Amino acid sequence: RGDGLVVLSPGLESYWRARGVQVPIHVIPRAVEPKIFSATPSSDPFDDRAPKGGRLLVVCRHVREKNVQRLLALFARHVAPLRPDATLTLVGDGPDHDLFVEAAEQLGIADRCFFAGEQSLVSMPTWYAHADLFVYASLSETYGQVVTEASWCGLPSVAFADGMGVSGQIVDGVDGELVNPGPDERAADADFGARVVRLLREPLRRRAFALEARRRAHLRADPRRCVARYYEAFGEARDHARRSFVTPSRPRELRLLGRWTGVHAVALGLGLLRAPAVLNRNNAATPSWTLG
C-alpha cells in the first residue's frame, strides 16, 4: 500500500521484487561522514609484530554471524603458509570474542592474529590508512558499512559475494575481489586466500584497486548525494501516490467505523455495556468501555 521503498543495495531490491513489491524501489546506500573519514590519519596503530606489506584488517562485531571463524581458518590454511609476513588484525568486540581468540590459538596462528578490541569511530580512518587489505567473510549483511568506510579511505577489500549489501559495494576485479562463498566452501576458502596472497604480492594492482575503491565510495556515499537521492525518492513517491489515487465509493475506514458503531449501538440498546472498573488488577484505570 506504499508509494515507494528505499533499500540499501541492488540485492535487496531484487529480494523485494521477487516477493511482489510493485511500487518504485530506490537503492540509496548509507552515507559516510567526511569530517571523520576524510581526516588526516594519525600514527601507525598496528602491533609492532604486524609488518607493513602483509597487514590484513577486519572490522566487525565479534559474533558468529560475521563468519570470523571461517576467516581465521582460511587465513591459517591459505594465507599464512604462503606469506610469512601476513598478519590478521581484528578490530571489534562482542559476545563471541573469546571464542575467536581460542580459535586462533587452536589454528596455530595466535602469534599472527592481533585482537585490537573496540576502537572509536574517529580512529578508524587511521586503521584503514595503515592496513594493506580489508578482508570480510560475513554473509549476513544487509549492507556492511565497514566495506564502504574502508573503500572511502582507499583500502581495497577481498570479501565473499553475499548477493546483498557487500556485493553492491565491490566490483570484482575493479576495486576489490568478490569471492563466491560456496557451495564448495573448501574451494571458496582456497580462492579467497589465493586472491589475498596475489594482492599482497602485487602492490601495483592493489594500488589501482585502492584508487578505484576510493573514487567509487566517494561517489556512492557522499552525504549530499545520498540526501539528494532521498529527496528524489520522496518526489517520486508523491507522484506515484497521485497517479495511483482512486476515490472509493465507500472508504474502508468508514465501513469499519460503521460496523463498530452498529455493534456498540445494539449492545447499548440491550443493556450490555457497563461502566469501566475504577481500578484494574494493576491499579490502573480501565481506559474504555467493555461488553459485560
Separation of alpha carbons 114 and 90, rounded Å? 6
Type of residue at 99: L
Contact 154, 174 (CB under 8 A): no
Domains annotated for the chain, with CATH where assigned, are 5-29+226-244 (no CATH), 34-221 (3.40.50.2000), 255-291 (no CATH)
Contact 112, 77 (CB under 8 A): no
C-alpha cell at 150: 574502508
Sign of the alpha-carbon dihedral angle for 192, 198, 203, 207: negative
Q: Which helix (H) or strand (E) holds 244?
A: helix 223-244
Q: Please tell me the pTM assigned to this model.
A: 0.82
Separation of alpha carbons 134 and 49, rounded Å? 18
Q: Is 100 helix (H, G, I), strand (E, B) or coil?
A: helix
Separation of alpha carbons 106 and 163, rounded Å? 31
pLDDT per residue rounded down to tens, the chain (292 residues): 689 999 999 999 999 999 999 999 999 999 999 999 999 999 999 999 999 999 999 999 999 999 999 999 999 999 999 999 999 999 999 999 999 999 999 999 999 999 999 999 999 999 999 999 999 999 999 999 999 999 999 999 999 999 999 999 999 999 999 999 999 999 999 999 999 999 999 999 999 999 999 999 999 999 999 999 999 999 999 998 888 765 555 566 666 667 767 776 666 666 655 554 444 334 444 444 344 3
For 103, phi and psi rounded to 5 degrees?
Answer: -65, -40
Separation of alpha carbons 163 and 11, rounded Å? 6
